[in-house]
Chain A
Amino acid sequence: MLLRIAADSDEPLFAQVAAAIRAHLSSGEARPGDRLPPARDVASGLGVNVHTVLHAYQELRDEGLIDLRRGRGAVVTDGAGAVAKLQQDIDALGRRAAELGMAPATAVALLRAAM
């Protein structure tokens, strides 16, 4: 899986790592049951601390996208499949919001309110 983190972001590093992995999960390349690489490998690949990656994995577990099991590492759940299905709609929504000149925070707040 390809993980990328832009240089200019104000978000906490763990959230950026989580976003990079989430992007992989929503790309449809990952199938439920696939194992994600060990946190240690992701950490040395991206040049971040291993605890940052573990924090990101916990974040994704709380979102129901992966399971964290001792000895088996991080396993992609069925929930990740739903993310992949929704990705196109999200992309379209983001583009529309940008066209209308809406602030990202407003779009996120509206989406949250709608759920």
Chain B
Amino acid sequence: MADSIVSRRFVIVGIVAPILVTLMAIAAQLVWLPQTPEPIAVHWGLDGVDGSGPGWTYPFFTLVLGVALPLWLLFSGVKRLRGGAGGWSFRFLAATSLGLAVFASVMLTWSVRIQVGLDSWQDAPSITPGIVAATLLGIGAGLVGYLFQPKQEARFAELPKARIDVATGERIAWLGTARASKGAVAVVIGGVVLLLAGSLACWLAGETAVAWLLIAIAVLIAGLGLTMTEADVRVDSSGVEVRGPAGWPRSRIALNEVATATAVNVEALGSFGGWGWRRVPGALGVVLRSGEALRVERKEGHALVVTVDDAATAAALLTALASRTGE
């Protein structure tokens, strides 16, 4: 399989390396913990150390922070990557997994190391150098992990093709609507309602400033959420156009710019890192759900991907129209 290097390095960077780093950090912590005060300092404020807890806090949180993302990638990402999905966000997620594991490991192990030989947790020195070191090492590890993986354009598993023959002079158009699942819409509405309820509570409690802030966030989420619920897709003799509700956002490709049109399968999280109108290297995605999608590639390479039912028909029509003008 030509893509084995992609999935192999994805596994090394996103799963094996973070788990190794985490286990090494935990081993070091277990060596040093017997020489540290019990309880141990676990929290630092602006004025220095200000909180303590049992020693096992460190290995426990190192384990949770270090292996959660790798395990998730192991159980969801690898299968999808091998199944033909691909793209920038796989590479990014694997690098994030490594960076996060290194950050947590350095940060927490550092906190243990600086308390070796102390009598009380209150004597713990400043953690600032540890934060700086962990941040730099975490970002550095993430970068190395990102560069170690091959460059990936957004790629998708192709679905069966349809075929449409267009007669000369025939007027023909395909219209479809991309819709989010009812569950996703419910989540957005629920979030907005919760924020509004929270702002009402703040208002009644006399916290007007917080109330206004919550209202602003609710309006923002409602606006963004609206663009994530529906988009109209049109294929006709002028090309392809995708429009959000109320005509915005909008993206179009003129017919003479179209290189290929295909029906593909899209993994929202895997290929685009989420839902909505998303720009990733090589593609603009209008991703309202996972599954069937129309993918139109421009002659200059950049693609438009929109998740819509009956995408095979839309792709077939666009292909037929493009070849008609090409002749």
Contacts and interface: CB of A to CB of B under 8 A. Distances in A.
Contacts of B174: 1-3, 45
Contacts, number: 58
Contacts of B170: 4-7
A44 B175 contact: no
Given A46-B236, A47-B237, A5 B176 contact: no
B255 interface: no
A37 interface: yes
B234 A46 contact: no
A37 B175 contact: yes
Interface in A25-42: 29, 35, 37-38, 41-42
Interface string B243-280: 00000000000000000000000000000000000000
B259 to A, nearest CB: 22
A3 B167 contact: no
Nearest to A37: B175
B169 A7 contact: yes
Given A2-B172, A2-B317, A6-B170, A37 B236 contact: no
Given A2-B317, A37-B175, A7 B168 contact: yes
B177 interface: yes
B232 A37 contact: yes
Interface residues of B, number: 20
A5 B236 contact: no
B171 A4 contact: yes
B90 to A, nearest CB: 34
B313 interface: yes
B313 to A, nearest CB: 6
22 contacts: A1-B175, A1-B176, A2-B164, A2-B173, A3-B172, A3-B175, A4-B173, A5-B170, A5-B172, A7-B167, A7-B168, A8-B169, A37-B234, A38-B232, A41-B234, A45-B173, A45-B234, A45-B235, A46-B171, A46-B172, A46-B236, A47-B171
A32 B168 CA distance: 33
A47 B236 contact: yes
Interface of A: 1-8, 29, 35, 37-38, 41-42, 44-48
A38 B177 CA distance: 11
Contacts of A37: 175, 177, 232, 234
B38 interface: no
B310 interface: yes
Contacts of B232: 37-38, 41
Contacts of B234: 37, 41, 44-45
Contacts of A38: 232
Given A2-B317, A29-B310, A41-B232, A48 B175 contact: no
A48 B171 contact: yes
Nearest to A48: B171
Contacts of A48: 171
Interface string B169-199: 1111111110000000000000000000000
A35 B310 CA distance: 15
